[in-house]
């Protein structure tokens, strides 16, 4: 069974440039998460989707971040414009159910460096 | 706001020594999960504890959930170099939304 697939794995951009990350969850997983992981820290939730609906985006900086999951399968996270402080690893995760009583399956992550 | 704290931040051990990391929540948790992240890798689920006082073992790893369901621990017996990585605990956010709050993790280094 294929795991959560993310691309690109690495991205280096100049500040003020846009960037987009793509995630394809495990087949059949209805819930998709985007997490931000700063160096030396645990993952922090940015947004959670149940199918195509964003049910928790309270931690997403909406002035520059946007996300979509149009058909309830794969998802894109965009930053425009990027700032120096956005340098981090962006992790996508999925789970088959909607409860916090289940395992999260993480992708390899997209490491962003903003110069 | 709700916090999930882990100690220590870092632990260096000689191969064969034991290791323990502690996780403390500011609120009562319905469950707690543990993840391991290898250097350069992504978090991988290890286990979930649900019951008060629950103890679960996975080979050399022993996980405990406190009686008050506000703390947990992970103990590794006779560490090996393959145990290197960062161990995170995570618990449900008390504000709902089915959201997990992760601790900052304990980074384990094992010297051969």
pLDDT mean over A12-28: 97
Window from A11-15, A65-69, B94-98 with minimum mean pLDDT: B94-98
For B102, the closest of A43, A98, A101 (CB atoms) is A43
pLDDT computed for residue A100 by the predictor:
65
The residues, any chain, with a CB within 8 Å of residue B101's CB and separated by 6 or more, are: B2, B3, B4, B90, B91, B92, B93
In the predicted model, is pLDDT for residue A104 greater than 90? yes
The whole-angstrom distance between B75's CA and the closest CA on chain A is 20
Residue of A nearest to B92 (CA): A100
The CATH code of the domain that includes B105 is 2.60.40.10
Q: Give chain B's domain count.
A: 1
In the predicted model, is pLDDT for residue A96 greater than 90? no
Assess if CATH 3.40.50.300 describes domain A5-114.
no
In the predicted model, is pLDDT for residue A14 greater than 80? yes
pLDDT one-digit tens code per residue, B65-80: 999 999 999 999 999 9
CA pair distance A43, A107, nearest whole angstrom: 12
In the predicted model, is pLDDT for residue A84 greater than 90? yes
Task: Enumerate the residues of chain B whose CB falls inside 8 A of the CB of residue A91.
Answer: 42-43
pLDDT mean over B81-101: 88
Please give the share of chain B, as a percent, with pLDDT higher than 70: 97
Please give the share of chain B, as a percent, with pLDDT higher than 90: 89
Interface of A with B in 51-90 (CB under 8 A): 55-56, 58
Predicted confidence band of residue B97 (pLDDT cuts 50, 70, 90): low
Where helices occur in chain B by DSSP H, the ranges are none
CA pair distance A113, B107, nearest whole angstrom: 23
In the predicted model, is pLDDT for residue A97 greater than 90? no
Size of interface A-B (CB pairs under 8 A): 60
DSSP B44: E
Q: Residue B92 sits in which domain range? A: 4-111
pLDDT mean over B100-112: 95
CB atoms B105 and A41 under 8 Å: yes
In the predicted model, is pLDDT for residue B98 greater than 80? no
């Amino acid at each position: 069974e294929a795991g959560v697939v993310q691309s690109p794995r690495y991205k280096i951009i100049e500040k003020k440039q846009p960037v987009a990350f793509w995630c394809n969850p495990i087949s059949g997983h209805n819930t998709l998460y985007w997490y931000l992981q700063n160096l030396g820290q645990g993952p922090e939730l940015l947004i959670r989707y149940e199918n195509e609906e964003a049910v928790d985006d309270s931690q997403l900086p909406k002035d520059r971040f946007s996300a979509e999951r149009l058909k309830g399968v794969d998802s894109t996270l965009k930053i425009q414009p990027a700032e120096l402080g956005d340098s981090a690893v962006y992790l996508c995760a999925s789970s088959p159910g909607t409860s916090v009583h289940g395992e999260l399956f993480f992708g390899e992550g997209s490491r962003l460096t903003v110069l | 706001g709700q916090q999930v704290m882990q100690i220590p931040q870092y632990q260096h051990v000689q191969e064969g020594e034991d290791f323990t990391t502690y996780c403390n929540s500011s609120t009562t948790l319905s469950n707690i999960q543990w993840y391991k992240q290898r250097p350069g890798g992504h978090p991988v689920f290890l286990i979930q504890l649900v019951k008060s006082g629950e103890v679960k073992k996975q080979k050399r790893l022993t996980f405990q959930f406190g009686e008050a369901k506000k703390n947990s621990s992970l103990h590794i017996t006779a560490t090996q170099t393959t145990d290197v990585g960062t161990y995170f605990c995570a618990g449900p956010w008390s504000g709902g939304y089915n959201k997990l709050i992760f601790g900052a993790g304990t980074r384990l280094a094992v010297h051969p």
